[in-house]
Amino acid sequence: MKTLLMTTIAASALFLVACSDNNAPAPETASVPPAETVEPAPNDNAFTPVEPVALPSLVDVLGSSPDFSTLVAAIGAADLTETLSGPGTYTIFAPTNEAFSAMDPAMLEDLMKPENKDKLVTVLSYHVVPGKLSSSDLAGKSEPLASLNNKDMLVDGTGDNLMVNTATVKMGDIEASNGVIHVIDTVLLPRFEE
Residue 146 has pLDDT above 80, yes or no: yes
Q: What pLDDT shows up at residue 191?
A: 77
Per residue in 158-168, pLDDT (tens digit) is: 999 999 999 99
Could you tell me which residues come within 8 angstroms of residue 157 by beta carbon, excluding any fewer than 6 positions away? 135, 138, 139, 140, 141, 142, 163
> What is the average per-residue pLDDT within 35-44?
58
Task: List, for residues 55-68, the tens digit of each pLDDT value.
Answer: 899 999 999 999 99
The answer for residues whose C-beta is within 8 angstroms of residue 156's C-beta and 6 or more apart is 141, 142, 162, 163, 164
pLDDT number for residue 46: 59
What is the model's pLDDT at position 19?
44
In the chain, % of residues over pLDDT 90:
66
**What average pLDDT does the structure give for the chain?**
82
Confidence of residue 84 (pLDDT cuts 50, 70, 90): very high
Cα–Cα distance, 171 to 92 (Å, whole number) = 12
- Predicted local confidence at residue 137, as pLDDT: 95
Using the predicted structure, report yes or no on whether residue 39 has a pLDDT greater than 80.
no
Q: Mean pLDDT across the stretch 101-123?
A: 95
What distances in angstroms separate CA 32 from CA 26, 35, 139, 152, one per listed residue? 18, 8, 69, 82
State the pLDDT confidence band at 2, using cuts at 50, 70 and 90.
very low
| pTM flag (> 0.75) | no
The pLDDT, as a whole number, for residue 3 is 38
Q: Is the pLDDT of residue 86 over 60?
A: yes
pLDDT for residue 4 is more than 80: no
The per-residue pLDDT for 54 is 79
pLDDT of residue 129: 96
